[in-house]
Chain A
Amino acid sequence: MEIKIPLDIKKVKQLKAGDEVLLSGVIYTARDQAHKRLSAVIDAGKKLPFDLNGQVIYYCGPTKTPKGKIIGSCGPTTSRRMDEFSEKLLAKGLMGMIGKGGRSPDVRNAIKKYSSVYFLAYAGCGALLSKYVKKAELVSYKDLGPEAILRLEVKDFPLIVGIDSNGRSIYD
């Protein structure tokens, strides 16, 4: 199934845990330290470095970009470490998350509550996944190095629905 970003709520609701999808459009990388900062920005009531509404966050910290390439190796990191921050971002309009592995019951409930979706990317396949990234640029938090927020344009990025908008998980 092909899916485009910004995500359409109707389409998100049709997705079922286990569905294989090809995602195209803009996604934003953010992992541990970026989540900590985004969460602090929300707590302080300040402006986020990008509008989360309808967006998708990819738990990814790529390698350096080799010469002549768009991006380096860029597979997913373990999602569970982002669990404590996810509901806060979903409440701000975040509609999708991409990572690897399971999520906490709290995140699952939040996904259901906000009719969002959690995707799994092919874990440990960073070289292969770099082929689906058509553009990469820095958005914020450059000092975090590989944990900086990047804006990625992806085409037919292969994913599996991990948790659907009804809170059903592929790992059930």
Chain B
Amino acid sequence: MANSSERTATPADRIERVSRLMIWVITAGGAIMVLAYTSVWVVPGWLEDAAAQNLLGATATISAGPVLRLFAALIAALPLALVLYGLWQIRELFRLFGDRHYFSVDGSKRLLRFGAALLLAAPAGIVTRSIVSVLLTMNNPEGSRHLVVQMGSNDYFLVVVGGLLLVVGWVMREAARMQHELQQIV
């Protein structure tokens, strides 16, 4: 028999618990992303492996020097920066949910910014991959230079999820307005 002093978890308790957990998941995920990204550009051989697997293909070589690599790293960081910005916004949104503020103007703004960041990350990824492919192979001999135009299902899903979150953000803004109005009814 259940102890009568034990309180049954309410939906608000569950939201608070999961939100607090998600803050840690997002913080850890963001740190891992930065670490992985930096490692690819700093650890010898990792850039070649990553480019062979994801961008240029197994047969391509990278002849770019340190300056070109630095430029490529800075350009390739743009989509990552957008995703990190989005993650920061969603982390703050979970903090609001954890504090039991469900329908707030601030919360809707955070969701809108996350959606916009995901929407922009898709085209930014496509463009930066092309620029990086040129920068990394521009010192290669003629015939082995690359211009990669790559668009995958990940980009498509980023656009779909980003668009969805943008609309949910607008809906949430409307909900915040309605809740504010309800609070003025006694």
Do A and B interact? no
- A contact set with B: CB distance below 8 Å: none
